[in-house]
C-alpha cells in the first residue's frame, strides 16, 4: 500500500492545531480564515484554467462532450456540475456528463474501494464511447486516485483531449494530461479531509470551466443566461421573461408574449425583437452564427 503522507492534501495544518479544544466561535474563525484562502489558490491557476476552457470550448464547437471523472467528493462535484448545465444553458444532457467511481450509488453513500480500480475507470470511459472530439476531465484532489488515472489513460489511447485537476503539485504526483490544473490550497483544517478547502476549490474551478466554456459557444449574452430552459419550472420561466424584458426594454406582459412567440427560447426572442424578424428567420440567423447573439446583431442592422 502506497504511503501518501507526503502529499500536500494529507499534511497537518498547524493553524488548526487543537481545534477540538477551541470554542465554537474560534473554530468557526479558523475554518473561515482557511476558506478565504481558496480563491487566491484558484487565481494562481488562472493560466491553466483558461487553457482548459479553450480546449473544452473548441471541443463543444466540433460537437464534442465534456466528461468529468472522479471519486468521492470529486466525483460528486463533477456529476453536480454536469447536472446543472441543461437547466442553466439548455444544453443536451449528453454534452456534459459526470462519471463517479462506484456508479450512481456513490452519489448518496460512500463507496470507498471503487476508487482503487484503474481498470474500472477505463471501462467507464469505454462505456460512454469516448471519441477523439471529446474531453475527459479527471478530478482527484490528492492526485493519486487510480480510477481517475485509468480513465485518463484510456481517453488518451482513444485520442480524446484530457484535463487533470489536483490540489497537489506535479512534483508530488505527475500526470500526462493535455492541460493540468493545480490548485494548491494547502493542508486541510481536519487533516486529509479534502471535502473542505480542496472540495471548495474544485467547485469553484468547475463552475468557472463550465460557465466560461458555455459562454464561448453563445450560451451567455452580456451577463445573462440566454439559453436557459424556460420550460423547466416557474422560476426558470420567470427568469427568461425578465431577461427578455431587460434586453428588449419591453413591459413584462410584452416580454412574455414575445418569449411565447419565440417558442420559449430566450435567444430567439432577443433576435426577433432587435431585428424585427419572425421566429424562423431568427432561428436561421442564430444557426448561421453558431448561436452567438453578438455575431447576429453585428451583421444585421438593428431596428431604429
**Which positions are annotated as active-site residues?**
84, 115
**Cell numbers for 236:** 426558470
Give Cα separations from 273 to 25, 217, 284 (angstroms): 54, 21, 15
**Cell numbers for 57:** 470550448
- Residues 6 or more apart whose CB falls under 8 angstroms from that of 271 comprise 277, 282, 285, 286, 293, 296, 297
**Cell numbers for 27:** 473554530
Burial of residue 181, with CB atoms counted within 10 A of its CB: 0-12 exposed, 13-18 middle, 19 or more buried: buried
- Residues 6 or more apart whose CB falls under 8 angstroms from that of 29 comprise none
Task: Measure the CA–CA gap between 165 and 155, rounded to whole angstroms.
Answer: 15
Query: What are the DSSP E strand ranges found in 183-265?
Result: 220-221, 224-225
3-state secondary structure of 130: coil
Task: Measure the CA–CA gap between 133 and 151, rounded to whole angstroms.
Answer: 16
Do β-strands 161-166 and 224-225 pair in parallel, antiparallel, or remain unpaired?
Answer: unpaired
| Beta carbons of 51 and 70 less than 8 angstroms apart | no
- Residues 6 or more apart whose CB falls under 8 angstroms from that of 49 comprise 42, 181, 205, 208, 209
DSSP for residue 114: G
| Beta carbons of 182 and 170 less than 8 angstroms apart | yes
Amino acid at each position: 500500500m502506497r504511503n501518501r503522507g507526503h502529499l500536500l492534501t494529507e499534511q497537518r495544518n498547524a493553524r488548526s492545531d487543537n481545534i477540538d479544544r477551541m470554542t465554537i466561535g474560534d473554530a468557526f474563525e479558523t475554518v473561515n480564515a482557511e476558506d478565504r484562502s481558496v480563491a487566491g489558490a484558484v487565481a494562481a491557476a488562472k493560466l491553466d484554467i483558461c487553457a482548459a476552457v479553450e480546449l473544452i470550448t473548441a471541443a463543444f464547437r466540433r460537437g464534442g462532450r465534456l466528461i468529468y471523472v472522479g471519486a468521492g467528493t470529486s466525483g460528486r462535484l463533477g456529476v453536480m456540475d454536469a447536472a446543472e448545465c441543461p437547466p442553466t444553458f439548455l444544453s443536451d444532457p449528453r454534452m456534459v456528463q459526470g462519471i463517479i467511481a462506484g456508479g450512481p450509488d456513490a452519489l448518496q453513500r460512500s463507496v470507498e474501494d471503487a476508487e482503487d480500480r484503474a481498470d474500472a475507470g477505463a471501462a467507464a470511459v469505454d462505456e460512454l464511447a469516448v471519441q477523439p472530439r471529446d474531453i475527459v476531465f479527471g478530478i482527484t484532489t490528492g492526485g493519486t486516485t487510480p480510477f481517475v488515472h485509468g480513465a485518463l489513460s484510456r481517453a488518451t489511447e482513444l485520442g480524446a483531449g484530457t484535463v487533470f485537476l489536483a490540489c497537489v503539485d506535479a512534483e508530488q504526483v505527475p500526470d500526462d494530461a493535455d492541460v493540468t490544473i493545480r490548485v494548491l490550497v494547502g493542508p486541510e483544517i481536519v487533516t486529509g479531509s479534502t471535502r473542505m478547502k480542496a472540495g471548495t476549490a474544485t467547485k469553484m474551478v468547475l463552475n468557472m470551466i463550465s460557465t466560461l466554456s458555455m459562454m464561448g459557444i453563445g450560451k451567455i449574452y452580456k451577463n445573462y443566461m440566454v439559453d436557459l430552459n424556460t420550460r423547466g419550472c416557474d422560476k426558470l420561466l420567470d427568469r427568461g421573461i425578465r431577461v427578455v424584458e431587460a434586453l428588449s426594454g419591453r413591459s413584462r406582459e410584452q416580454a412574455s408574449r414575445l418569449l411565447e412567440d419565440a417558442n420559449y427560447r430566450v435567444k430567439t426572442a432577443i433576435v426577433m425583437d432587435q431585428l424585427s424578424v419572425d421566429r424562423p428567420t431568427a432561428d436561421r440567423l442564430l444557426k448561421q452564427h453558431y448561436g452567438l447573439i453578438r455575431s447576429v446583431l453585428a451583421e444585421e442592422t438593428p431596428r431604429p
